Amino acid sequence: MTMLRLPHVRSAMTLFGMVTVTPSLLPAQEARTAIEAQYQRLAAAIRRRDVEGILALQAPDFSSNNPNGTWDYAAMERYRRRLTYTVDSVIHIRNVIRSFEERGDTAVADVCQEFSRLQRLGAGRRHRIDTSVLQRESWMRLADGWKRFNVTNEHGMRWFVDGVRVDPSKPYKPVTVNVAPPLRFSPSHLRADSMGLINTCTRRAAR
């Protein structure tokens, strides 16, 4: 008699919430939430110009395949240190996940990155730089959390220097004008949306 009742008891317990059924998508949801938190930490480290904080979110065997070639961890670290040294102030930074796939202890995110900053170029003159790019980023779960270990499929890059679009594959050449007044960075100039570039990822999103 007891054995016959068990299926009915099990059904009743499930219906009334006494047994929790874990949705099959929960692991992917947890992984995405954890990686989104890592992107927030990455953005905070970039705002602080904290190179060690940025590197702490990269896996020891990090690699990147981009238009400039293939980078390992050491090349990425050198680039990060050079870039951070030339950036005087971060205006805006964010990574928007457009698609996400969890694969056990690894995950792949198609990401749109926006980065606006005041940066010294060439002879050291400060410029406002606005960039955005689409790329595929792979993460792995290690003992101390999720780490980014690979970046590929970089495309759709947009670079603006003081509001003028430039080709990022070519050395930067200042625009020559007859009269060149001193560049002043007013509060409106420093707004994230002052050049209509931010929310680029929102416009590109294809969730």
Pairing of strands 106-121, 164-166: unpaired
Report, as ranges of residue numbers, the positions in the chain whose pLDDT lies below 70: 1-26, 175-200, 202-207
The per-residue DSSP string of 120-143 comes to EETTTEEEEEEEEEEEEEEEEEET
Neighbours of 103 (CB within 10 A): 12
Q: 155: number of CA atoms within 13 Å, CB side?
A: 5
pLDDT of amino acid 192: 52
Q: What is the pTM of this model?
A: 0.76
pLDDT in tens, 135-185: 999 999 999 999 999 999 999 999 999 999 999 888 777 765 443 444 444
- For 203, the enclosing helix (H) or strand (E) is helix 200-204
What's the mean pLDDT when you consider all of the chain? 80
Yes or no: domain 25-173+184-204 corresponds to CATH 3.40.50.720: no
